[in-house]
Chain A
Amino acid sequence: MRLGARTKLALGAVLAVTVCALAASTGTATGASGISAVPLAGTGSPQTGEFTPSSGEVTADEFAGEGEETDEGPDPYDGTISLSDGAGQGGSVNSAKKAKSNPTFNVGFEGLNHYQQRFARGGNQFSLEPPDQGLCVGNGYVVEAVNDVLNIFNTSGQSVLPDNTATNIVSGFPRNVNHAVDLNSFYGYAPAINRTTNLRGQFVTDPSCLYDAATQRFFVVVLTLEVVPTSGAFTTVNHLDLAVSQTSNPTGGWNIYRINVTNDGGNTGGVNPGPYLGDYPHIGADANGFYITTNAYPWCCNGFSGAQIYALSKAQLAAGAGSVAVTHIDTSGMVNAPSDAGSTQPGFTLWPSQSPGTGSFDLNAGGTEYFLSSNAADEAQKPVAGTAGTRTSNQLIVWALTNTSSLNTASPALTLSNKILTVGQYGVPPKQQQQGAGTAPDTSVPQGHCLNDETTQLFNGQFGCWRLLVGSAAHAAGAEVVASPDSNDTRMQQVMFANGKLWGALDTALNPDGGPQRAGIAWYIVKPDLSTGSLAAKVALSGYLGATGHDFTYPAIGVTPSGRGVMAFTASGNALYPSAAYAPIDALAGVGDWAIATGGQGAAADDGFSGYKQTRFPNPIRSRWGDYGAAAVDGNSVWIASEYIAHTCNYTDWGGPFFFGGSGDNILGTCGGVSHGPGPRSASANWSTRISKLTP
């Protein structure tokens, strides 16, 4: 069933319980592939690298901007996908079966936040949005990485990294960033921006983390973009930086491998030549291999050049081998569904599966790693032109990479195949709503309020708070409103292979209770089968999660070896600030009632720079959120991590001594008070991350 953009659907609460595999087609590996050697590039450690303490002008560079109009982003699907259970809690499957998963809250704490991100390494960092969370847990450690900072906690939530407060001098005072270490330090790079010389270091982005219980190693992967140090301009050279802990203790040394992905992509339609950007890297592992996938975008053009797979021997990485073979596969042309490239589509966001513990891997077919992907995105349907497709689909693509045991030999010989399953309709979601969205920011949304303010007297006698942040041309872009944060598109989110099944979820448009369209979640539990020698799969259970007046975004599923799972996500709504939430999931009852994680209730509105036209002037705004959450399984527990707004910060405290007669921190916008922190935010952003442990 292929539906036009205006097709109206009316689906019941139960979407597709035990939908048999309606295999539209099967794709086999024909994408370009190659094997190369990746040398050990160096070592790293979670210790802050060299830097020059920032001067009193630490934030000056950030506020030289000058302002645009509408909030940009993909148009949502313009059809209807109904979810009607009448309960208002969004349970998506009407099943009489008793759920296996009944999560008990164990512990929760605030993870990394924007203050720590911005003021790590002596403040020689950019203000960044969104955080992009990576989380992994094992051997008593909780490792979290976001753009662009890392921390390691014990299972009670205390950082176990050395306290670097005394030496972390920013604007003349030591800054407590809860021991966090910037990712540039971790990977051995110069600071992201030297606030004294203005020289730029490598641009590190999109961190992911995985703990492999079999090898007892932690893996952290980022995409690193090379820049011209004097200007910050991108050279187009980019590489995946893969850090592997040298022991089961992540606070010690790490081995670093760099995989250059600059030339990896399909020249789709002959109009999308390289070099390429290896965007949105995500990681997984099976018994034999460690896998990274990217979305290759041409730097030149608006098309899409295919999801790329990089397969490496997990054992060799764990052993710190001096050189590791990497098998690269380009998925361009591998999905047997039509696109503007012809009768096939490229894979888009193939999320590699992770498995809990040591006994959940699929050992069939010489060892198998699974992936899931979706194909409503423009990248799948219009890879040549880079224009919009239907933005909706009812297809889920299951991928199997077999013979992974060959990764441990001198001649890896992998086979990639896929199967298209028919599932319920999904489509690009609308933006999230948050309490106050679309209205003038009040004093609880200080950056937005400041940008609109013309009357506050400043420390220098001038009037108008906006003068602290932007120039007059940017200010002329007009009044700000409380933002509607991004809701992602329909790309696949975190995938688990546990209890013999694949578990995944994605963001979708949804009409809870038949009402207005909101951002919701489509989830899938798939049973793959390689017993016949080729890939077969069926949907064991699937459905939607949504609720009237709410938006659910960026799901991440963690599942224990026994099949008990938790799905993390951000919940926001008409009367709800962005909050860290979760719902149980299992293969008997599907997804159960959702709840806000203990301590994860949003305290204020998202007040980030990317959502304001004056701060983005002359560029368009896109209120960034996400771009992904994370879940990690440790024993019989599931750790989840989601972005939320943890702290309030009122306008007066935000302005501090920058307002006439005010007092507080000498850095604008931290709400750090006269003790100079630690604050919860910077002037430019207020995101936090919430980490929770649940036993389902």
Chain B
Amino acid sequence: MSTEPSTGQVLLQAQGLSVRHGARAVVHEVSLELRAGEIVALLGPNGAGKSSLLDALAGALEPAGGRVERRGRISLALQAPDLARRTVLANVVLGLAWWGVPRPQRRERATAALRAIGADHLAGRAATTLSGGERRRVHLARAIAVDPDILMLDEPFAGLDAEVRASLLEDVLSALRSDDRATLVVVHDRAEAWALADRLLILIDGRLVADGTPRELLERPPSPGVARFLGYDGCIRDGQTHTLLTRPPHVILDPAGRHEATVTRATPTEDGFRLELTVPTGRLYTVAPLPAPVVGDTVRWRVEGGARFPAAQTGPLDEFAMLRT
């Protein structure tokens, strides 16, 4: 993951892009650009309009307003990894045929794409015999094989278990990286965005509410809504005028800490216990290694980091879950 913004040529520019499904507006006046050499993740909750925005950017969906300028050809890999009832190699070759690649080059390019994504061992297998993870791999190879100027992937890791997803992410990353190509990946899971993206776009309720590097957004979320979406689930009053939002790593249990809290919930996780700490001015969350405090215990804590917002933006603490962007 690069922390420097790409300075490559702008390959796609959208201005005031809006999308409607019938009478319902699903994307509201989104402006963005994609540059050569960068991998951008489009992140948002279910129903935020991510796929509609992707389709409109790719030209697969007529926008209701705004305009998109594209320099070069776009390869769009849809969310469903549906393959033809042929061998894996034939599926990738078929994609190259649709793209217009001359016949003599197809086989070699298909083989290279499968190798790049760690699926060359599947080349001779019938597509109908593949597992979910293998289908996703071939689906991605088909989109990458055409070597587009702009590559768009709609939730390429959807429906995979954690182990398969981690392995695919690792293989995909190097295959996606190219100095000449702009890549936009719609992801649902934040971990996928951290692993892949140079830049993050966050779409909530059809509006682009954040655009920055993962580090920037994680350290300085631009609004309470973005903070909450990025895992800032702790919320306490910070003085009379501000609210402090925290992620679990910001809250440290420390016997020498200045503040006290009561453990009001303890949920087992892979890394120990996720604790809900209730303090007089709000509620915090942290992850404690075993042996962890239990419900009812009083603990001492301190905070390192977090994001401060004027209380007027966050509203009453109890309503944090309903924060606006």
Partners in one complex: no
What residues make up the interface of A, taking CB atoms closer than 8 Å to B? none
What residues make up the interface of B, taking CB atoms closer than 8 Å to A? none
